Structure 1
Amino acid sequence: MAIASVATEYVFSDFLLKDAKEPKYKGVRLELALDKIVTILAVGLPLFLISLAFAQEVSVGTQITCFTPFNFSMKQAVYVDSFCWAAVQYQADNSPLWLHKFFPYILLLIAILMSVPAALWRFTGVPYLSSDLNFIMEELDRFYNHAIKLAKNLATLDDRDAEQDSQSALDLAEGCFKYPLVEQYLKTKGFSCGLVVKYMVCQCLTLLVLLLSCVYLCYYIFLASLVDEFPCDVRTGMLKNDSAIPAAVQCKMVAVGVFRLLSYINLGVYLLLTPLVVLAALGPARQSSSFLQAYEMLPGFGALSKFKPIYNDLSIYLLFLKENLSELKSFKCLQVLELLQQSAEEGFDTMCVLQTLSQVKTDVFDSQKMGSITNICEMDKPKN
């Protein structure tokens, strides 16, 4: 009997969650993996393409080449190139040549616009989500610890007072677990929509910028990039009446071919990102509390299993809670307990699993250990 008591004490002291010396949940993710992928690609790709565009400019040396007469000196030819480059946006035929000149800067504008939804979410939604999510995760771990302490108290009762003390412990447990704080707090989030509105606004902005960027890139590829030559009139100012200078000089934009290739790359990636944004926007409607099923084996927890997917704050909290399950130590332990329950025979005692759980490591489950635990629990059952 003494050995059993010592073993039980050791089991529960080892299975109980310890208070961490470092701050809890410092690795909480406040941005969904899907949203992070969209943000990194949508912002990082244009910046990468800008670097390629400027690298092309450095390697080529000039963005425009004009066919000057043979009697022009080198300085005159350089002046004509500079003059025509500055006069690109003032062509009389209203051709979209200015898009070639400002192509890298338009990509930079796209990158800035794509970062706005992520920044908006960080400054409007994250502060509220961070504090609430830390509270919910802490309460889930605390709720689990209360259940383990109850099981420990029931397991260490003396035989003579077992019936009376067990009844009093169960009465106390009913008072403690009848209204779990974390469950009641989550249920209140089902009646508010402030956080989900902010999340959906960010998703809509992301989708809108993506679609507008795709429209611009399509226009550039199929219309603007087809025109890269134009006549340039250099007879202005003091040279207006100079007959030695031709009326027009033929010029060509050198980097248009490279810009068109970069546009194809950017357009292809943005078209692939569009379904991901739509999928992320549908996330709150598809989210359920089924991943919290492991907590239903604890006394008093289980009302959230009736949660129906809907656009409210509860769906957002469940989304981010599922994203941070790796930070919940109680969830890992309950998964072990759930696995033991599923693999046990009918009539398997859950309390007995808690008493013998330390015999099995959380990362190793072999049939021999499972069988030994089942036999121990069956032997400890009271006989009718």
Structure 2
Amino acid sequence: MFNALESFSLALSSIRSHGFRSVLTMLGIIIGVASVIAIVGLSQALGDIIASNFKGLGSNSMSIRALTTPEQALQGRFNRLTLSDYRQIVRHVDDISDIAPSFSPFGDYGTAIKYASSTVFARVSAVTPNYQILSQSTPQHGRYISNDDVATHRRVCVIGRKLRDKLHLPDNPVGQFIELGGQWFKVVGVTEPHAETFGAAQDDLALIPFSTGQSLVADPALVDLSVTFNVTDSEQLTAVQERTASLLRQLHRIPPGAKDDFEIITAVQLQEILSRVVGSMTLVLAGIVGISLLVGGIGIMNVMLISVTERTREIGICKALGAQRHHILVQFLMEAAMLSLIGGAIGVALGYLLSLLVSALAPALPTPSIPWWAITLSLGFSTVVGLLFGLLPAAKAANLDPIEALRFE
């Protein structure tokens, strides 16, 4: 124990006596650990966004949309989910509720929306009242799309808060008229703000009654729908998914063995997919950044080898006074480990500050939190790197012949 404490004290003294060189030696470790901590913190923040976006959606929701392969698109063939498909789902699929069809009457890329002298491009979706339940949208001002709006084909719309701000509408724009794709609509509501996901704004859109959207397209039969609904019993989620897929394959006359021209996905599956994407990105980036830890370890080895050369006479004196081989070995290993551990601790602090800075520059990101395992793993890995790369210099110092060391100039 005394030898370990003495080695620890000598290692700190050596690091302090060569402060600038020690900082340069630790720089690779600092950069590597800081990068890893920042990446982990930001990935945790992205995970929190995903969790919050799906928190209100529930685990029993299901969405269906048409799926067109790149080859089909190049051939000018586009698959659609039609009104007939929607009616057949309502009629033949049991254990579902709150079914909500929707489509984009002006195309997937939106249209020009005007108010006074302001013009912006945003998405427009034709929806039914059930869309509010499935999207967990709550009006901040006014009301949502109603059954009367759909029944009477009213020219009314509900807009997101971001669209309201971009059009320079009043804080409460209910009663104002805006132009959607050349058609005038009365604003009846503004939805509560939603967080952005991967840069996609959830509030930069306008919602209109489903029947009104149908009247705006040339051929309602060619409308490409997205259908979302809740499964009444979450235990029947897989069974409902299979029955719906079987029904659509029959309706679309897809032969056995051929791929589906539609996609059915549950909220749980979508959350898992996004979580896997974030996790994969984190692992790849952490692996790339981890290379800098190895570079830092090489830097420690080089500096420790120089230190052995500089302190050859000191080592010779220690051995002449009775120091054993393992005493010298422990002393140099302790110094290498302390360099990497201190560098790792500084890197953890800098990485956390960096993640806070990125979060401050991107308001959509929540305040990042660094899990304990990331800190422990970073400090442990950096210490192991220091020990491994300090082993060669320590062994070289421990194997010096005391007579030759005392003669060294």
| TM exceeding 0.5 | no
TM-score by length of 1: 0.25
TM-score by length of 2: 0.24
Larger radius of gyration: 1
Write 1 or 2 for the structure with the bigger share of helix: 1
Write 1 or 2 for the structure with the bigger share of strand: 2
